[in-house]
Amino acid sequence: MRVISLVVEGLERANEEGLMSWLLAQDADVICLQDTRCSEYSLKDDCFFPREYNAYFLDNFADHRINGVAIYCKTLPKAIMTGLGFVDFDDKGLYIQADFQNLSVGSLLMPSGVASDQAMNTKLKFMDLLGGHLQKVKNKRRDFILCGGWELACKSIDVEEAGNRMDIPGFSAIEQDWLNTLYKTGYCDAFRSINSDADEFSWWPEGDDAGALRTDTQVVSIALCNRVDGASIYTADAFSDHAPVIIDYDVDL
């Protein structure tokens, strides 16, 4: 099973750079997109609804031009879940999940903490709620693949300028601790379970000439860590300031 995840920073804008044509050529079973900045009903081009996929969207209720997540599934899911049960966040277009027989795949957009102290406090509140949720669901009789723009990193290998800057997005001590705790309590980074290469980055928050990070990943249930067959980040084309993360799993839907 191939799962692709990408923060598109506007689905229609990313498609102008060739996104949908590229995605259809990858033969992915599930495609998770974040920061779509659209709703299902605002998309006018048929290319966003390919016949090969069942497409599902969740937008920001107040303004569909902000945030937004989507998930494309070749196999018809048993159920689609929107939101995480977080009163302050579920209307912001941050999470959508496809449930299959013994597996759930989620598309997650972490609130950005870059803009201000208030934005960071909002992000930390979401992280606190998400951490509790992930500890609860890990006891369910199913596995989880949580794809997203996490805006979090916990190892220096994943941050190009780790030794030179103190203001790197997602790399503060509290954010590192949160992610490290998650990886010690029932989850793992699918990419790092098989790929230990340095210089593997997925986000260029200040453009090509500034430091890069690997904050886009697929966080998976610990049982899936030894079922990753391949992991790569596609950088030959630029669809946004983020790069697609491609993970192949030894899993059948």
Percent of the chain with pLDDT over 90: 86
pLDDT of 163 over the 90 cut: no
Structure tokens, 103: 């597996």
On the 0-12 / 13-18 / 19+ scale of CB atoms within 10 A, 187 is buried
- pLDDT, position 253: 86
Please state, rounded to an integer, the average pLDDT across all residues of the chain.
Answer: 94
Mean predicted confidence (pLDDT) in 40-67: 96
Name the residue with tokens 């610990």.
222
Q: What is the distance between the alpha carbons of residues 129 and 112, in angstroms, rounded to a whole number?
A: 15
- Domain ranges in the chain are 2-249
Q: Which CATH superfamily is domain 2-249 in?
A: Endonuclease/exonuclease/phosphatase (3.60.10.10)
**pLDDT confidence of 175, banded at 50, 70, 90?**
very high
